[in-house]
Amino acid sequence: MEYSYKNRAFTNYYHADNYNILVIAQKRKRENEMSEYSGNEAVIMKNVCKDFKVLNRHEGLKGSIKDLFSRDYKTVSAVKDVTLTVNRGEIIGYLGPNGAGKSTTIKMMTGVLEPTSGEILVNGKVPYKNRTENCENIGVVFGQRSQLWWSLPLIESFKLLRDLYMVPEKDYQDMIALYQSLVDIEPILHKPVREMSLGQRTLSDILAAFLHNPPIVFLDEPTIGLDVSMKAKIRELILGLNKEKNTTVILTTHDMGDVDALCKRIVIIDKGTKIYDNDIDHLKTYFGSYRTLKIKRADDTWEETLIDDKTTDVMDVIMEKRKTMKIKDVKIDEISTEEVIKKIYEGSAK
Amino acid sequence: MNPKRLLAITRAGIMESLHFRLGIFVTLFANLIYLVLVYYLWKAIYASSGTTVVNGMTFEDTMIYLILATALFNFLEMFVVWDMSRSIQSGKIVLDLLKPMRFRKYTFWSYTGNHIVQFVLTFIPTFVVVMIVTKGAIPMGLNLVWFLAATVIALMINYNIEMLIAPICFFTESTWGVNIVKETIVLLLSGATIPLAFFPEKARMVVSYLPFRAVYDIPLSILLGKNGSDTWQGLVSLFALQLAWLLVLTLAGNLFWNSAVKKVTVNGG
């Protein structure tokens, strides 16, 4: 029984395979199109690589002492040959497992990291040259860090950012009015940032990143650690700002809910290589039918089975299981981002 | 250079410092304890010397100098090295690098608010108390203006010394030891703990040309009318020394910072 599920799942990899050919074809097309900056692209990345030099650490106390004088470096490639074009007004989900190179890519796009090779243009300019000037045209939120002034009420941080980015008073007032129409900011506006809950702080940080109305905003895991209603609120806000101001948003996340709510297109990288770049609908076509069936055994442990809804009926599996074991509880989950990525990666690795 | 920007950062700095008002009272209290200690220490030194004037300074001169040096120290003290090593370890440095202003300038101005608060709440009260208690030992005239000017330059020199040390944490990841060494050297050689007049002749010669002196000794000399600062010639030479070091340290700091930041942008910090 077990075997046949696996087998069925296996046949489905063929879809993934065909599908990868499609992806590669599209990738080629995009690369060819990407000759010069035409004004409509928010980000252009061409064959971007990023290597880090890391000291080879040795084990133990002896090793640590040895490391003090060691010149033994190894090169780690965080991003390998990534080519990507993001058009103005797009919301892109930039996905990948932990350590895939997402943050490195974002840091290169913001200009704090210089690529080892390849070209990057953000708003038509090379981000790491004239970093300070380019910063005026981007907004950044790193999920677990706040750029706000810790002990000051939010409104003071806003005023400071207004002066720092030299936002005209009228634009500033319009933006605050827009914020008020999108979320209820009144209760947090006069609250010191350090007294805020994580959700309120993240919300504030996102608002701060959009305040100077940059053409492009980078959101690095903005919904990490937030509750369901706050997540929904933040997604609504991002969507609203994108719509109102036509801001390009590049979003990294591990939450499939974020992707579903916000992104039309997703880019997946793993081990520094781009392995998927397409509309989210395609992703759903191929992997949306997968379900994770969780069965609670008599000894209170869970057994997980990945099932393709299209080829296998979930009820059949449960019935089948019931013949051999006592089932205490049943749960059916949608496939997670990690699993989608895993599947895509397994597909592309073949 | 946009004054509105700088003003906004300063304003936020003042508000943040005032927020930690308890810290200011603790500083004042700690000073009191420190000064009691200093008082008895120097009393013993003067008692054992057998004369009332040691190295051209009376006990009263020394005390005035040290009290004001302590007050000046509270006001000039910066935590650039601590803050930077912390923000490198936590990764917050990325956010600071993404401000639409040059990092060195932004950092300097973000400390300015705190300096203003410390000046008003710790230096001025101490100064007034010393003035009343000593009844006219501090000359009141144009020297106050020169003192303010010298203090502002001292502030910038101090910042540049900090900015020469802080980027070391880009390379070592920890600056605790380096910072302790720096603090000790600055406090000793600047005349903040022992008046420079008490240094042996040869050491004083060397120290009087080092930048550390420009941080505490020169502003205090100007305030108290010592070291020839009561003549135009003396005043000009003191300012010249300050400005020369300011120039050298700013250039050196800039160079070092640029190469350190290169390390972050190339190798991820």
| Domain positions in chain B | 3-267
In this complex, is the C-beta atom of A132 within 8 Å of any C-beta atom belonging to chain B?
A: yes
CA-angle at B187, arms to B183 and B188, nearest 5°:
115
What digits encode the pLDDT tens for the residues A98-148?
A: 888 888 999 999 998 899 999 999 998 899 888 888 889 999 998 778 889
- Domain shared by A226 and A299, yes or no: no
- Domain shared by A256 and A295, yes or no: no
Write the burial class of residue A301 (CB in 10 Å: 0-12 exposed, 13-18 middle, 19+ buried).
exposed
**Closest chain B residue to the Cα of A52, Cα to Cα:** B267
Per CB-CB distance under 8 Å, the chain A contacts of B117 are: none
Average pLDDT of the residues in B174-194:
84
* Most confidently predicted of A236-240, A329-333, B100-104: A236-240
* CB interface of B with A, residues 8-27, below 8 Å: 8-9, 11-12, 15-16, 19-20
Residue ranges of the alpha helices (H) in chain A?
A: 2-33, 60-69, 102-110, 131-134, 154-164, 169-182, 186-189, 198-210, 228-245, 256-262, 280-287, 314-324, 337-349
- Domain shared by A177 and A307, yes or no: no
- Domain shared by A312 and A260, yes or no: no
What digits encode the pLDDT tens for the residues A215-253?
A: 999 999 998 888 999 999 999 999 999 999 999 999 998
Long-range contact pairs involving A267-270 (C-beta distance under 8 Å, separation at least 24): A267/A84, A267/A92, A267/A93, A267/A94, A267/A95, A268/A95, A268/A96, A268/A341, A268/A344, A268/A345, A269/A79, A269/A82, A269/A94, A269/A95, A269/A96, A269/A100, A269/A101, A269/A102, A269/A105, A270/A96, A270/A97, A270/A100, A270/A341, A270/A345
Chain-chain contact of B12 with A160 (C-beta, under 8 angstroms) = yes
Contacts of B55 (CB under 8 A, 6+ apart): B195, B197, B198
Chain-chain contact of A160 with B19 (C-beta, under 8 angstroms) = no
- Domain shared by A85 and A134, yes or no: yes
Rounded (to 5) percent helix, strand, coil in chain A: 45, 25, 30
pLDDT score of A295: 87
Structural domains in chain A (count): 2
The CA distance from A162 to the nearest CA of chain B, in Å, is 9
Percent of chain A beyond pLDDT 90?
39
- Domain shared by A272 and A323, yes or no: no
C-alpha atoms less than 13 angstroms from C-alpha of A201 in its C-beta half-sphere: 21
In this complex, is the C-beta atom of B268 within 8 Å of any C-beta atom belonging to chain A?
A: yes
Give me the sheet containing A117-122, strands edge to edge.
A73-87, A41-55, A117-122
How would you classify residue A100: left for phi > 0, otherwise alpha for psi between -120 and 50, otherwise beta? Answer: alpha
- Domain shared by A182 and A301, yes or no: no
The more confident residue out of B268 and B123 is B123
Per CB-CB distance under 8 Å, the chain B contacts of A135 are: 98-100
* CB interface of B with A, residues 120-159, below 8 Å: none
What digits encode the pLDDT tens for the residues B28-69?
A: 888 888 888 988 999 898 988 888 888 888 888 888 888 888
The CA distance from B102 to the nearest CA of chain A, in Å, is 6
Chain-chain contact of A149 with B5 (C-beta, under 8 angstroms) = no
The CA distance from A269 to the nearest CA of chain B, in Å, is 19
The CA distance from A93 to the nearest CA of chain B, in Å, is 22
The more confident residue out of A328 and B2 is A328
Chain-chain contact of A164 with B266 (C-beta, under 8 angstroms) = no
Per CB-CB distance under 8 Å, the chain A contacts of B90 are: 145
| Minimum-distance CB partner of A156 among B12, B94, B265 | B12
Chain-chain contact of A166 with B19 (C-beta, under 8 angstroms) = no
The CA distance from B29 to the nearest CA of chain A, in Å, is 24
What is the rounded CA–CA span in Å between residue A104 and residue A109? 9
| Minimum-distance CB partner of B100 among A150, A156, A165 | A165
pLDDT score of A181: 92
Chain-chain contact of A136 with B100 (C-beta, under 8 angstroms) = yes
Chain-chain contact of A114 with B265 (C-beta, under 8 angstroms) = yes
Q: Would A186 be classed as within a structural domain?
A: yes
Q: Under DSSP, is residue A213 helix (H, G, I), strand (E, B) or coil?
A: coil
In this complex, is the C-beta atom of A114 within 8 Å of any C-beta atom belonging to chain B?
A: yes
What residue numbers bound the domain in which A323 lies? 289-334
Is residue A13 predicted with pLDDT exceeding 80?
Answer: no
| Minimum-distance CB partner of B12 among A107, A138, A152 | A152
What digits encode the pLDDT tens for the residues B8-39?
A: 999 999 998 888 778 878 888 888 888 889 88
Q: Would A343 be classed as within a structural domain?
A: no
* CB interface of B with A, residues 101-120, below 8 Å: 101-102
Chain-chain contact of B8 with A52 (C-beta, under 8 angstroms) = no
Per CB-CB distance under 8 Å, the chain B contacts of A107 are: 94, 268
Average pLDDT of the residues in A288-294:
77
- Domain shared by A311 and A211, yes or no: no
Chain-chain contact of A163 with B7 (C-beta, under 8 angstroms) = yes
pLDDT score of A67: 73
**Closest chain B residue to the Cα of A54, Cα to Cα:** B267
Per CB-CB distance under 8 Å, the chain A contacts of B15 are: 151-152, 156
What digits encode the pLDDT tens for the residues B214-261?
A: 998 899 889 888 877 778 888 899 999 999 999 999 999 999 998 888
- Domain shared by A281 and A293, yes or no: no
Length of chain B (residues): 269
Contacts of A308 (CB under 8 A, 6+ apart): A8, A9, A12, A289, A290, A291
**Closest chain B residue to the Cα of A147, Cα to Cα:** B95
Per CB-CB distance under 8 Å, the chain A contacts of B7 are: 163
Per CB-CB distance under 8 Å, the chain A contacts of B95 are: 140, 142, 145, 147
Q: Would A345 be classed as within a structural domain?
A: no
pLDDT score of A348: 54
pLDDT score of A33: 46
Length of chain A (residues): 350
Here the CATH number for the domain that contains residue A18 is 3.40.50.300
Structure tokens at B84: 């930077």
Domain end residue (candidates: A258, A286, A314): A286
Q: Would A176 be classed as within a structural domain?
A: yes
- Domain shared by A281 and A312, yes or no: no
pLDDT band, residue A285 (cuts 50/70/90): low
C-alpha atoms less than 13 angstroms from C-alpha of B199 in its C-beta half-sphere: 19
Chain-chain contact of B91 with A145 (C-beta, under 8 angstroms) = yes
| Minimum-distance CB partner of A164 among B101, B267, B268 | B101
The CA distance from A140 to the nearest CA of chain B, in Å, is 8
pLDDT score of B227: 76
- Domain shared by A279 and A301, yes or no: no
Is residue A36 predicted with pLDDT exceeding 80?
Answer: no
Count, in order, helices (H) and strands (E) of chain A.
Answer: 13, 12
What is the rounded CA–CA span in Å between residue A181 and residue A236? 12
| Minimum-distance CB partner of A151 among B16, B90, B92 | B16
- Domain shared by A245 and A319, yes or no: no
Secondary structure E strands in chain B? 53-54, 57-58
**Summary mean pLDDT of chain A:** 82
What is the rounded CA–CA span in Å between residue A78 and residue A83? 14
pLDDT band, residue A337 (cuts 50/70/90): low
Chain-chain contact of A131 with B101 (C-beta, under 8 angstroms) = no
What digits encode the pLDDT tens for the residues B149-173?
A: 999 999 999 999 999 888 888 877 6
Average pLDDT of the residues in A27-38:
54
**Closest chain A residue to the Cα of B19, Cα to Cα:** A151
In this structure, of A1-10, A269-278, B166-175, B210-219, the range with the lowest mean pLDDT score is A1-10
Chain-chain contact of A142 with B94 (C-beta, under 8 angstroms) = yes
pLDDT score of A16: 44
In this complex, is the C-beta atom of B258 within 8 Å of any C-beta atom belonging to chain A?
A: no
C-alpha atoms less than 13 angstroms from C-alpha of A241 in its C-beta half-sphere: 31
